[in-house]
Amino acid sequence: MTNKVALVTGGARGIGFGIALRLARDGFDVALSGRRSVEETQAAVAPIREHCPSALYVQADVADGRARARLLLAIEEHFGRLDVLVNNAGIAPRARADILEAREEHFDEVMTTNLKGPYFLTQAAAAWMIRQRESLGTSHRAIVNIGSVSATVTSINRGEYCLSKAGVAMATRLWAARLAEFGIGVYEVRPGIIESEMTEGVRGKYDALIETGLLIEKRWGTAADVASAVSVLARGELPYATGAVIAVDGGLTQQRL
């Protein structure tokens, strides 16, 4: 295999699908993972295979350590290498609840999937990337965490999600500092209000807020918007910037008078 290989977790739907499709179009061999079975994702993966016939889907929950190990082993057996990891898989709380009433089991579930899973997948993937340097050289490798404006913007009815994304922001900085000596860039792409399954239930709320000036760019973001930023980072087109946070939020987090 001569193409670089990218793994996109949660890559068969939503933002993850947009990222995987863009990377396939850009010439990467793409591996995707998710909770659904191979059979359930065949239709979703088909457009990616139009650009990357060897695309691999692996059923793997990033919250499960054994599943993470199986995922990387499957990629090694199928492609023999890994150059880019996109930690995209994430969940919202089972129920939006005021932080005075939120349930501990929902907190644990969100934190395990959104923070612990990507943290230790990064650990394992980075170790593999470091080993690859002996056989594949020191070409650009990258780890991209898909964060959220919720890392800094409070939502008191989904505190566990906000905390998980704040943790992802710090994890990005930690891994950037640790992996720089090995030539592995680590970045965070921080989306704002993006059209996806996760935001379907609050469509009316955000339509109204956008209309009344919440954003500088008065539209919903798309998976393609996020994918464009990830592509730049995956291809090494933003050098000398490890640890960078790229906001894809239509100006939501800009302070304005």
What are the backbone angles phi and psi of residue 99, rounded to the nearest 5°? -60, -15
What are the backbone angles phi and psi of residue 31, rounded to the nearest 5°? -115, 140
Catalytic residues: 161
Tokens of 172: 């990005």
Cβ neighbours of 141 (radius 10 Å): 27
Find the helix packing angle between 159-179 and 117-136, rounded to 10°. 20
